Amino acid sequence: MAVEGHRPSPIGRGMSTVIRTVVQGVWLGWKVESNWTNPFVFLTYLIAKPIAGVILVGLVFVIGSSASGMGSREDLFFYVFIGAVFFIYPATMTVSLAYLVHEDRAKYESLKHIYITPASLTPYIVGRGMASAINASVSVAVSLIIGSIIFSNHFSLPLSIDVVRVDYPALVASILLGVAASILLGIILYAINLITFKLQYSLAEYTTGVLFLLSGVVFPTSMLPYPASLIGGALPTTHFLNAVREALAGDHAYTSMAYLLLSTLALAVISLACMNRVESLARMKGTIDRKAEY
């Protein structure tokens, strides 16, 4: 039986299936991740945890800087605080996409059924990543506001953001690119977890740990030892955080944004190739519907 009464051109049809799959992914991700049946747990996860993380980073800064007496305290605080807040995007999204394999495969037993639909996995993952980005945005906004209030009132560290000077178009564009880069990183983790079983939980933790060190969250990548600084410079997360800082400060953000765009494109090539390879590898190894190592 023909599924639809009239058939649009194959390209239009292909495109619309991809978009529809993304939309389903977003919708499902929102439903699954925003656990309103247990609002307390959900709000803790969405708000309290990221704020705690940001405050921790801030406090380390306060202690560290008072000991070493470095340059302008405000500027450094701005660097660290914004870095920690916006790092919530890659951290949240890579973790949720890395866990997604295990959730769909073992917990909901739905992965094999999603896999055997004509829809591809990649747009589905992209949709799930976008849902995660919505949650991350809430965490970022709340951390930004509450964190800055706490630090300016209790540690006399005002966040020097002049709302009039902020380059909003650059900020929005940087966030969109940062979200895209985070999804692409998440796809790589998804791909690895799809063909393995040992790293279901740990992979995301390791990755966010390494990203935290290499992306210039609390100190510029130039301060890293040689090969690490090179890797840091190639990561879109580094340029994402720089671009956001510059846009917020009203500085010229376009160099960072250009780097962000380039590194995101490179990452897109890598992660789509990964996914492509892994989809057939998983089918060969039979890992799509297996719940554990055989």
Partner 1 sequence: MYAVETIDLSRVFELKGRRILALDGINIRIGKGEILGLLGANGAGKTTLVKILSTLLLPTSGSAYIHGHDVVRDAKYVRGIINLVSGGETPGYGMLTVRENLWLFSQLYGLSSGIARERIEMLIRDMGLEQYRDVRMHRLSTGYRQRLNLARGFINDPKVLFLDEPTLGLDVINAKHMRRYIRDWVDADGEERTILLTTHYLAEAEEVCDKIAIIYRGRIVAYETPLALKASLSDGVSIQVELLSNRTTKGSIVEEISSRDGVLACMLVPSQNVVEQGDHGGNARYDGSIDGLTRLRIMLDDDSKIPDLVSMLVMNGYRVLSVRRDQPTLEDVYMRYVGSMGNEES
Interface with ligand ATP, residue 225, by CB under 6 A: no
**Shortest distance (Å) from residue 11 CB to partner 1:** 14
Letter string b/e over residues 256-271, b meaning 16 or more CB atoms within 10 A of that residue's CB: bbebbbebbeebbeeb
| 3-state class (DSSP) for residue 77 | helix
Pick from 117, 202, 255, 276: which binds partner 1 (CB under 8 A)? 117
- What is the distance between the alpha carbons of residues 261 and 245, in angstroms, rounded to a whole number? 16
Residue count, binding to partner 1 (CB under 8 A): 35
Residue 222 C-beta-side C-alpha neighbours within 13 Å: 1
From the list 110, 80, 111, 56, the residue with the least C-alpha distance to 215 is: 80
Interface with partner 1, residue 115, by CB under 8 A: yes
What x-and-dash track marks residues 52-91 binding partner 1 by CB under 8 A?
----------------------------------------
Of ligand ATP, partner 1, none, which one does residue 124 interact with (CB within 5 to 8 Å by kind)? partner 1
Kindly tell me which of 226 and 294 has the beta carbon lying closer to ligand ATP.
Answer: 294
Of partner 1, ligand ATP, none, which one does residue 17 interact with (CB within 5 to 8 Å by kind)? partner 1
- What is the distance between the alpha carbons of residues 206 and 77, in angstroms, rounded to a whole number? 26
Interface with ligand ATP, residue 294, by CB under 6 A: yes
Write down the residue that tokens 């495969």 correspond to. 105
**Shortest distance (Å) from residue 280 CB to partner 1:** 8
**CA 282 from chain center: how many Å?**
25
Pick from 26, 28, 144, 191: which binds partner 1 (CB under 8 A)? 28
Of ligand ATP, partner 1, none, which one does residue 284 interact with (CB within 5 to 8 Å by kind)? partner 1
Pick from 2, 118, 286, 292: which binds ligand ATP (CB under 6 A)? 286
One-letter amino acid at 47 equals: I
Q: How many CB atoms lie within 10 A of CB 174?
A: 27
Helices (H), ranges, the chain: 10-33, 39-43, 49-68, 73-86, 88-102, 111-115, 121-154, 168-195, 202-214, 226-234, 236-249, 254-285
What x-and-dash track marks residues 230-269 binding ligand ATP by CB under 6 A?
----------------------------------------
Dihedral sign, Cα of residue 50, residue 85, residue 96, residue 221: negative
Q: Which residues bind ligand ATP (CB under 6 A)?
A: 286, 290, 294
Contact footprint for partner 1 (CB under 8 A): 1, 3-5, 13, 17, 20-21, 23-24, 27-28, 31-32, 35, 37, 108-110, 112-119, 124, 280, 283-284, 286, 288-289, 294
